[in-house]
Amino acid sequence: MMVAINMWESGWSLWSVGGSRTKTPGSRLSLESHVNRRQFLMCSCSTLAVQRLLAQAQPSFGDVLQAKVLAKPALVSQSIVYQHPDQDPYNAQNRFGFNHAPSVTLLSDGRLLAAWFSGPFEASVSQVILGCYSADEGQSWGPAEVLNDFARTSDFDPAFIQDGKRTWLFFSAGRWDRYPFVRGENEVGPESFKTYCSYTDDAARRWSEPRVAFEKVGCRTNGLRLSSGELLLPIYGFVGRTAGVLKSTDRSKSWRRCGDISCPAGADEPTIAELSSARVLMFLRTNDGFIWKSVSRDKGETWSAAEKTAFVAGAASHNLLRLRDGRIVLTHNASRPPLRTLLTLRISGDDGVSWGDALTLAEIAAPGENEQIWGRQVTYPSVAELANGDLVAVWAEIALGNRVQYGNIHSASVRV
């Protein structure tokens, strides 16, 4: 018999479901009341015991997270974002044959936007920023369009920051090539480069005019909005070759450089992810065959000295991403310099202290001694998280030869 109790001032009323009240305030308890009360207490104790058992059987959030970390990421599908139309770097009609350094972001309308630099060869003064959109979670990609083209300069390395419904696009532009001859201060070389920013509030239908965010620095991987609201963009110096971040506390009205991280193995093309307790993790591109790291404990203001990790890595750009559930994703070339032939993705559930098994996203054979192509790469990854928790990764496939040079942009969907 199911029973319920009704507390009422100095007395109590015991009811059986569908039965009659057996005690009223001030009345004497009947034998039936004693029986009903005993049954009620037994029922209550049984219910509490069952609740304790259910609580013990119910997995905690930490257990679920650890299970996700231990489960190896799964490759769901792959697609081509952009295929090179030409491979002759000397062809005057070749505008978009060499495609490299993609970044990807999830726009406010649910579409994906991938952007990269494109030209007949790397650092051409006709190099532009191209972009493609996907409306089906990266299964297919629409035609490419030019997102930025500064005349007679090389547009490099687009990166994004998602700031609510606003999407920021960053890129670097300058000029490596001295020819044709130019005159003027800071017109050629490292001193000529600046990092620019532009934004859209309508999912890339319209963009603001690009403006200079900072001079003599370059960006490469996506930045982030901290949980406390500040914006951070990982950058490295073209002069001095040290790493840090650009930080904005006023929604990108102004930027200041924080951090001057040096490393004996180089400190280029950093990537960042927010950890717990307001810490920020940075991984660096270096040339000694390992990833080096630095940590900020004050929202990117200051950074620890660079420290070598155990990760074998090519001299290439890596990618860190924090997922909505707090896990950290690392995507990088797990091959020693000069190779960039193995591209992997792995997950950490403890702020990068330990990592799960790696998923191979792409692998390509290194060229033989007598091949026309002397360099092959699958490299420079970027990753975005979809609404359903799956990931979309993009990267470049590069071929280099004396007479043939091209790059394609690839993507893959990954279940984590």
Residue 68 placed within a domain: no
What pTM did the predictor assign? 0.84
203 with 340, same domain: the answer is yes
Query: What proportion of the chain, given as a percentage, has pLDDT over 90?
Result: 78
The answer to whether position 239 is within a domain reads: yes
Domain residues for 39?
Answer: 3-55
In a domain, 170, yes or no: yes
pLDDT of res. 119: 98
> Would you state the pLDDT for residue 70?
61
Q: Is residue 253 part of a domain?
A: yes
Q: Are 333 and 366 in contact (CB under 8 A)?
A: no
- pLDDT given for residue 35 in this prediction: 41
CA distance 51 to 45: 10
Whether residues 166 and 246 share a domain: the answer is: yes
- Asked if residue 288 and residue 185 are part of one domain, the reply reads yes
Q: Do residues 17 and 156 both lie within one domain?
A: no
Q: State pLDDT tens for residues 252-267.
A: 899 999 999 999 999 9
What's the distance, CA 82 to chain centroid? 21
pLDDT digits 0-9 by tens, 347-392: 999 999 999 999 999 999 999 989 999 999 999 999 999 999 999 9
Q: Are residue 161 and residue 42 in the same domain, yes or no?
A: no
7 and 96 fall within a common domain: no
70 lies in some domain: no
Q: What is the pLDDT of residue 11?
A: 38
Do residues 338 and 396 share a domain? yes
Can you give the CATH number for the domain in which 304 is found? 2.120.10.10
**Measured distance CA(155)–CA(215) in Å, rounded:** 14
> Residue 51: which pLDDT band, with cuts at 50, 70 and 90?
low
The closest of 47, 51, 50, 55 to 2, measured between CA atoms, is 47
- At 108, list the tokens: 């406010």
Question: What is the CB-side half-sphere exposure of residue 99 using CA atoms within 13 A?
Answer: 30
**Confidence band of 50 (pLDDT split at 50, 70, 90):** very low
The whole-number pLDDT of residue 183 equals 85
Cα separation, 281 vs 386, whole angstroms = 22
Residue 338 lies in a domain: yes
**Residue 69, domain member (yes or no):** no
Average predicted confidence (pLDDT) for the chain: 88
Contacts of 338 (CB under 8 A, 6+ apart): 314, 315
Residues 127 and 28 in one domain: no
| Whether 321 contacts 47, CB under 8 Å | no
Q: Say yes or no: 171 and 221 in one domain.
A: yes
**CA torsion, ordered 62, 65, 66, 71, to nearest 10 deg:** 160
Name the band, by pLDDT with cuts 50, 70 and 90, for residue 250.
Answer: very high
- What's the confidence (pLDDT) of residue 58? 60
Sign of the Cα pseudo-torsion (332, 267, 233, 211, in order)? negative
Q: How many CA atoms lie within 13 A of 399 on its CB side?
A: 18
Looking at the structure, do residues 388 and 285 belong to the same domain, yes or no?
yes
Of 3-17, 78-92, 326-340, where does mean pLDDT reach its minimum? 3-17
Is 215 a residue whose pLDDT tops 90?
Answer: yes
C-alpha to C-alpha distance for 375 and 373, rounded to whole angstroms: 6
Same domain, 358 and 296: yes
What is the number of alpha carbons within 13 Å of residue 346 lying toward its C-beta? 18
Q: Which of 350, 362, 365 is nearest to 396 (CA)?
A: 362
- Note whether 34 and 170 are same-domain residues: no
What pLDDT digit, counting tens, does each position of 108-151 carry?
A: 999 999 999 999 999 999 999 999 999 999 999 999 999 999 99
Total domains, the chain:
2
Is residue 65 in a domain?
A: no
